[in-house]
Amino acid sequence: MSQTIAAAPALTRLAEDEALFRDSVYEFADREVRPITREMDEHAKMSPGLITKLFELGVMSVEIPESYGGAGGTFFHSVLAVESLSRVDPSVGVLVDVQNTLVINALLRWGSDEIKRRYLPRMAKNLIGAYCLSEAGSGSDAFALATRAAETGDGYALTGRKLWITNGNEADLFIVFANINPEAGYRGITAFLVERGMAGFTVGQKEDKLGIRASSTCELLFEDCVVPKSQILGEVGKGYKVAIETLNEGRIGIGAQMLGLAQGALDHTVKYIKERKQFGKPLADFQGVQFQLARMALDVEATRLLVYNCARLRDAGLPFLTEAAMCKVYSSEVAERVASMAINLYGGYGFVKDYPVEKLYRDAKIGQIYEGTTNMQLMTIAKQVLGA
């Protein structure tokens, strides 16, 4: 049913390079992100200075070809970057994730040469993107879109409201899905590239969230926002295809975010139980604690194998729909479970904001919700199992 990609001997050097890349991004996160994580969480705001450093590091343009000013990496490199950043702060991880696995990925696959020339160099330098599909009545039923696009000669006038849009505050480029022909159902859905500042387009309320608080989640308002036909991404009426195929890849990115979160919770736990003493010896000396730690490590490693395998399938051009669903379900459950156990082992300290694990527990919850809920992923997996 499921397939795996094994690294051949010829890939040894590449694997070493990937490990070096992952470690270097984590070193950056440990140095630049960790000191401001709590402040960003409390103020629910991403540091503009940090965003600049992320661009300078190259993790905001991982797959953009060098000819456009990007890093020229692979999808797997994007996954490694998201994992490493999320190990310190999943809010930063999802900023980079949406930029790479959704927006840049969609532009590379569906953008015309003109669109690529117009946007990719800017996205490699300082332009942040957002992916705008969800609406009040269109969540798991992703194509029940109420946002409309009416043809106006040289373009389309967009009218509607999008909700829960990640990177809404920071983005200047938005991939917006609207229906140009509701009678045609999902075959009327079209993807448009909307820039901040276009007449009739407003970034609305920012949500006050449980977790990943530094990551902005906003509503978008469109009132006769005229978008030129040159700003259509892909083909008219084929937006559903853009959405489906891009989100399949985005789920691997969420898997990487949850993997990094779980690894971060494990890191904190190992350090704490070695230092914390009860009954005259460190918690780490108690067999019951060791068994709990072993379960956490097992969960994290199993998640890593699922996420990495799925990313390699994607880069190899092999089918990965079911594997992506699996890695998102499992990684999000593991993130919540490992973060919860971290709080348990911290005891009372784990429940207060002076210590880092309560934040990771709050951050973990979103993994089972966005970019396809757990129930939707289980339906995908079940269809494969049943051969439907």
As annotated, the active-site residues are: 371
- Token digits of residue 159: 């009218």
CA distance 24 to 212: 23
- Rounded to whole angstroms, the Cα distance separating 352 from 355 reads 6
Question: Which H or E element spans position 177?
Answer: strand 173-179
Spatial distance between the Cα atoms of 44 and 208, rounded to a whole number of angstroms: 8
**Tally of residues, the chain:** 388
Amino acid letter at 6?
Answer: A
- How are beta strands 201-206 and 217-228 bridged, if at all? antiparallel
227's enclosing H/E stretch is strand 217-228
Q: Rounded to whole angstroms, how far apart are CA atoms 301 and 260?
A: 11
SS3 305: helix
Compute the distance between CA of residue 85 and CA of residue 45 in angstroms, rounded to an integer: 16
Q: Supply angle C-alpha 260, 4, 1, rounded to 5.
A: 110
Q: How far apart are CA 181 and CA 32, in angstroms?
A: 47
- Torsion sign across C-alpha atoms 192, 173, 133, 335: positive
Closest to 119 measured CA to CA, from 97, 96, 103, 132: 103
Contact (CB, 8 A) for 260 and 82:
yes
Pairing of strands 232-233, 155-166: unpaired
